[in-house]
Amino acid sequence: MAAVIATAGLVQPATGTPAEPAANGPQATAPDAAAVTYPLDCKGAPQTVTATAQGDLDGDGRPETAAAVRCQAGSGTPPHAIYVLTQDRTPGARPRVVATLLDTPQRQTAADLTVRDGAVTATLLGYSSPEVPRYSPDVKKLAKWRWTGGKFRQELTDSTARSV
């Protein structure tokens, strides 16, 4: 593993459990991000999915979906949350959230969401201080999460935070 797993003091590990291993059968489809109710408190405003990426994140042979979601606020740049979705094999089962990778209190916006080689990667835009207007993020960093040891852990990347 090329990246070093971030220490608990630097990273808040995401929680969740993946889907059960797939049985032999037809190729599974990734969960539909539009069919999920997210645990995002928008105070009555609608939620919107701004980006999705699909791939097998836990090595069970079935694809998961990573979804960047935010509240539809009237102004500014509302923070995103990034969730991992799975689809149970039960016929008619709805997709469900199994992990939160990025939560809104971190006040970051997710861009360029991808799933590659079993990892979720996103460019996170944020703010260097409370004085920076919320419509103009000035910090950009690359974040990567991988399923390791029974949960998603954020990995350190070779890209450090930098001004935009």
- 18 assigned to some structural domain: no
- 133 assigned to some structural domain: yes
Q: Which residues fall within 8 angstroms of residue 74, CB to CB, at 6 or more apart?
A: none
pLDDT surpassing 70 at residue 160? no
- 55 assigned to some structural domain: yes
Question: What's the domain range around 88?
Answer: 33-163
For residue range 87-146, what is the model confidence (pLDDT) as tens digits? 988 888 899 999 999 999 988 999 899 999 999 999 999 999 999 988 889 999 999 999
pLDDT at site 88: 86
Number of domains in the chain: 1
Task: Please report which confidence band the pLDDT of residue 39 belongs to, taking 50, 70 and 90 as the band edges.
Answer: very high
How far apart, in whole angstroms, are the C-alpha atoms of residue 47 and residue 40? 8
How far apart, in whole angstroms, are the C-alpha atoms of residue 64 and residue 163? 32
- Residues 67 and 110 sit within 8 Å (Cβ to Cβ): no
- 111 assigned to some structural domain: yes
How far apart, in whole angstroms, are the C-alpha atoms of residue 67 and residue 70? 10
Task: Please report which confidence band the pLDDT of residue 23 belongs to, taking 50, 70 and 90 as the band edges.
Answer: very low
pTM for this model (two decimals): 0.78
**In the chain, what is the straight-line distance between the N-terminal and C-terminal CA atoms, in Å?**
29
- 87 assigned to some structural domain: yes
Give burial (CB, 10 Å; 0-12/13-18/19+) of 21.
exposed
- 128 assigned to some structural domain: yes
For residue range 42-86, what is the model confidence (pLDDT) as tens digits? 888 899 999 999 999 999 999 999 999 999 877 777 889 999 999
- 19 assigned to some structural domain: no
Compute the C-alpha angle 70/60/146, nearest 5°.
50
Which is more confidently placed, 91 or 5? 91
Q: Which residue has the tokens 């808040």?
A: 12
- 113 assigned to some structural domain: yes
